[in-house]
Amino acid sequence: MANLHKLDRLVGSTVMAYRFALTSIFSGALFVLLLCSLHLLQPEFDPTWRFISEYALGDFGWMMHLAFGLLALAQISVAITIFPYIRTVTGYIGLVILGISAIGVIIAGIFVTDPISVSPDDATFSGSMHSTGAMLDYTPVAALLISLSLCRLDVWRPMKKVLLTSAIIAIVAMFLFVLQIPQDGQFGPEVLAGMFGRFLILADIAWLIIIGIHAFRIGASREVNRGN
């Protein structure tokens, strides 16, 4: 009887979690839509070396603030969605890192960055806070740890290859991005940090949406079974 009650509680929490899965899917997709729109609306920011954060400096800055909010919402929604499935220390560490990443994105979204031409020594308070928030975002690391944990479960095992591949792509993108950062902090057209940064953020979003889609399928399937 106790086992049946525990199973019913697990199913119930999983079914409820799929609603957050939907949120992660739509917020992630809207983030990509806003980011693509900003490339068209503010072409003065060369995407090869200017950071996406700089879109907040233009006439459509509110869209970049909203995009950061949507990214954080996707991260938080995924964390809530997968919480019922986490069973390992690795998975819980990944959840903590994902939560810290979401906090970092929120901070980066609240505080406007300085122009890329401003040196670290001349950074404003807002620019420093934005940089601090951005440095807290380690979504690729969370993605890998969480994927390794989820793949141990039967309901997630069919997604093992997709999850691990997307997580590894995000990790590689993160290292490539870090390698683009000049040691002297001086950016220019010859530094392709903007391009690699965009690749990194899209890799993060891809993993978040993949998690959301599969979690939604699991939750929708179990809700149908409960109805029957």
Question: Given this model, what pLDDT does residue 222 score?
Answer: 61
Question: Given this model, what pLDDT does residue 16 score?
Answer: 65
Q: Which two tokens stand for residue 159?
A: 């997604």
Question: Given this model, what pLDDT does residue 182 score?
Answer: 85
> 8-48, pLDDT tens digit by residue?
444 455 556 778 999 999 999 999 999 999 999 999 999 99
Q: How many residues does the chain have?
A: 228
pLDDT above 90 covers a percentage of the chain that reads: 75
Low pLDDT (below 50) residues in the chain? 1-11, 224
* Amino acid occupying residue 169: I
Question: Given this model, what pLDDT does residue 148 score?
Answer: 97
Give the pTM.
Answer: 0.89
Mind giving me the DSSP string for 81-115? HHGGG--SHHHHHHHHHHHHHHHHHHHHHHSPPPP
Residue bearing tokens 């006439």: 59
Contact 159, 129 (CB under 8 A): no
Question: Given this model, what pLDDT does residue 218 score?
Answer: 85
Residue bearing tokens 């870090």: 178
Question: Given this model, what pLDDT does residue 91 score?
Answer: 97
**Cα–chain-centroid distance for residue 88?**
21
Question: Given this model, what pLDDT does residue 7 score?
Answer: 41
Q: Which two tokens stand for residue 227?
A: 């109805």
